[in-house]
Amino acid sequence: MISKKIKGFFYGADYNPDQWNKEIWKEDIRQMKVHGVNVVTLPVFSWAKIQKSEDEFDFSWLDEIIDLLYENGIYVNLATPTAAQPAWMSKKYPDITKTDMYGRKYKHGGRTNFCPNSPNYRRLSKKIAKEMAENYKDHPAIVLWHINNEYGEYCYCENCRKNFIKWLKEKYDTLENLNKCWYTSFWGHTIYDWDEIEVPSALTEILPGRLGGRDGTNFQSMAIDYRRFMSNSILECFLGEAEEIRKITPHIPITTNIWGICDKLDLFKWGEECDVASWDNYPSSKDHPSLISFRHDVVRALKGGKPFLLMEQTPSQQNWQPYNEQKRPGVMRLLSYQCISHGSDGIMFFQWRQSAGACEKYHTALVPHVGHENTRIGRELTQLGEELKGLEDKIIDSKIESKIGIIMDWSNWWAVEYSSGPSIDMTYIDRIMKYYKPLYDLNIPVDIVNPNMDLSKYDMVIAPLLYMVEDKAINNIKSFVEDGGTFITTFFSGIVDENDHVRLGAYPGAFRDLLGIWVEEVDALYPEMKNGIVVEKELNMGKDVYDCNLICEVVHSQGAKVLGRFAHDYYKGYGAITENSYGKGKAIYVATEPEEGFIRELMKKYCDENKIKPILKTSEEIEVTKRIKDNKEYIFILNHSKKPQQIDLEVKKYKELLKNQVLKGIINIEPKDVFILEEY
């Protein structure tokens, strides 16, 4: 339960009452009740309104609206407004606005336009957080703190440079150590004095757009350190506010809404500092549903599987996509249940009332420009609100159980995508999705895991492209296999240590004995090229030869069993898939990127071996997930397709909670519809 005050799902939206007059506030309350809204987030962007100058704080208007909400049974997710400092502040304290990678100092404008190492920003953001906490510490409406908004902008100014050096001193202690870890013997980059260190930017070591549009760098270790430092600097901003708040309202949980699965911040570290994980889900209408599921699973992982909160989604239309489709009828509901089925205990929207001006005015809201609720979208929102009320006893606080962990790691993400060679197409999330999606298709639940976590609860752990891996994580993974686990990893894994130094000796460095192989060469294929995997008969797969591409490695077995071999080119006959016994477990290596069908068969094989079963067997266009509470299982069935689909419930009989019907045998589900089944 996110807050004891709200027993059911959080259902509400970002609310910007300062854009509207008080007559409209009343109408807002009326419509909130129509939709069953029980919580709103505010005042996300009202710093300038609250603090007109350094010494003037005015909470009166905020008091008034919060009281009004509370009187009407609506709680408040209280936001600190620090994502956009007032114009007077940018003017008075020029250290606040950020400097970009090209050395361009920004002036006031936009949002998240602050340097995370600006002393004045740090001081003033703590001050406003403290003032708010003091002001609202006793207000019964407050159920959650929402610090800042969608953190994630880097800065490259002189204050950042100074703090970077300080951070480096703490991390490396001596310049000798720093020079070694940064490999500065390359290109004669030895640092003899801490002050010689520059931040890696387009004016020093960053090569913008060099890698298929992503930034390259001359010194990966330096560039990755800067990301670690920046993630940490921004986290310090969060913590600065959180500390002030926790002193005053230790009983109220704190969150910050994550933007997508942000590559700028090491979210596992952020998860440790938040009380509740929450995020903003803005998929493109072209994103495959499995990608959205993956993102939910990442967010759920941040607090170790505890229910999270969907902080923002759009009721229908976004405004910043190139082409902003309306969500088709049923899609908003479908995506909301997808979110809940992956562990959210709330559905919140951006925003309550659609703005009349500025750049987000064509982002749909719960109250559209027409001003009333008698619209298609309005009706869908009312229905969802009602449905959620009926589910709260069963679903709230339920958990998701999985026997499979998929490893994700931010330092690895940065390292992979800064790598100069072998291929610019070697992006990280796409590689994870190659393994996530087949399991999604099979309706087998997975957890996203950090490589240093306790893995013993899993039967299988999959680590796509785990290129950078610390000793500690290596040992963790080895113990998991020794104890009987099944570990699957891919090409170019285990290659470097946390400093992005190659683990010399032989590829795949860290995992060589675990996998029982030696990789002699790593070949990169042009996008139009492919190779094939000739499957050994014992695998008993659907086809004899599967396509593969991206990377093909020349693998020598040194104990591992070869399950598939390359079909072409000078490494024809060399192992493409190997399996090695290690302790009581197995370690499987996939030395290329096979087509989806192959990976699906491979997942089936090892799930079978580990007795991991699908929740239900369905067509791939149906998503099935499960939440569990008090030993009761709630099966979510989501039809993402445009066609009605049939599902075989086999021998069991279920109660369907949304339509309150009993189901058994072969059932039909309409396009975009959702079933929630409880065994009957």
Min CB(111)–a copy of itself separation in Å = 5
- Smallest distance, a copy of itself to C-beta of residue 473, A: 19
Using the rule CB under 8 A, which residue among 73, 94, 103, 209 binds a copy of itself? Answer: 103
Q: Of the ranges 401-409, 414-422, 581-589, 591-599, which one interacts with a copy of itself (CB under 8 A)?
A: 414-422
Kindly report the number of other CB atoms within 10 A of residue 118's CB atom: 25
Within 8 A by CB and 6+ apart from 234, the residues are 116, 151, 152, 153, 264, 265
Residues in 284-343 at the binding interface with a copy of itself, rule: CB under 8 A = 286, 316-326, 328-329
| Pick 318 or 402: Cβ nearer a copy of itself | 318
Quick check: 466 and 494 in contact, CB under 8 A? yes
CB 665 within 8 A of CB 649: yes
Please check whether residue 281 is in contact with residue 339, taking contact to mean a CB–CB distance below 8 angstroms: yes
Q: Which of 243, 272, 570, 666 binds a copy of itself (CB under 8 A)?
A: 570
* Pairing status of strand 39-42 against strand 10-14: parallel
Q: Which stretch binds a copy of itself (CB under 8 A): 30-38, 217-225, 290-298, 402-410?
A: 217-225
- Minimum separation from the CB atom of position 113 to a copy of itself (A): 9
205 interacts with a copy of itself by CB under 8 A = yes
**Residue 680 interacting with a copy of itself (CB under 8 A):** no
Measured between alpha carbons, how far is 117 from 125 in angstroms, rounded to an integer?
12
Crossing angle of the two packed helices 220-248 and 158-172, in degrees rounded to 10 = 100
Instruction: Pick from 363, 437, 478, 626 the residue near a copy of itself by CB under 8 A.
Output: 363
Residues 6+ apart with CB under 8 A from 339: 281, 296, 310, 313, 347
Closer by beta carbon to a copy of itself, 165 or else 667: 165
Q: How far is the CB of 313 from a copy of itself (least distance, A)?
A: 16
Q: Which two tokens stand for residue 248?
A: 């005053």
Binder of a copy of itself out of 31, 38, 41, 46 (CB under 8 A) = 46
Interface with a copy of itself, residue 543, by CB under 8 A:
no
* Chain centre to alpha carbon of residue 25: 34
Please say which residue, 230 or 388, places its beta carbon nearer to a copy of itself: 230
Checking DSSP bridges between strand 545-557 and strand 39-42, what pairing results, if any?
A: unpaired
Nearer to a copy of itself, 3 or 218 (CB): 218
**Which residue among the candidates 244, 312, 387, 623 is catalytic per the annotation?**
312
List 63, 243, 471, 521, residue binding a copy of itself (CB under 8 A)? 521
Task: Choose which of 88, 172, 259, 282 interacts with a copy of itself (CB under 8 A).
Answer: 88
One residue of 54, 196, 401, 609 binding a copy of itself per CB under 8 A: 196
Structure tokens at 407: 């490893």
273 catalytic per annotation: no
Q: Per-residue x/- marks for a copy of itself, 250-289, CB under 8 A?
A: ------------------------------------x---
Q: Is residue 307 reached through a cis peptide bond, with omega within 30 degrees of 0 on the bond before it?
A: no
Q: Does 355 bind a copy of itself (CB under 8 A)?
A: yes
Q: Is 150 a catalytic residue?
A: yes
CA distances from 425 to 420, 500, 524, 525 (A): 11, 19, 9, 10
Site string for a copy of itself, 162-191 (x = CB under 8 A): --------------------xxxxxxxxxx
Residues sharing a CB contact under 8 Å with residue 156, sequence separation 6 or more, in sequence order: 99, 100, 101, 103, 199, 201
Considering the complex, state which of residue 550 and residue 602 has its C-beta at the smaller distance from a copy of itself. Answer: 550
Q: Which residues contact 666 (CB under 8 A, 6 or more apart)?
A: 646, 647, 648, 649
Catalytic site residues?
Answer: 150, 312
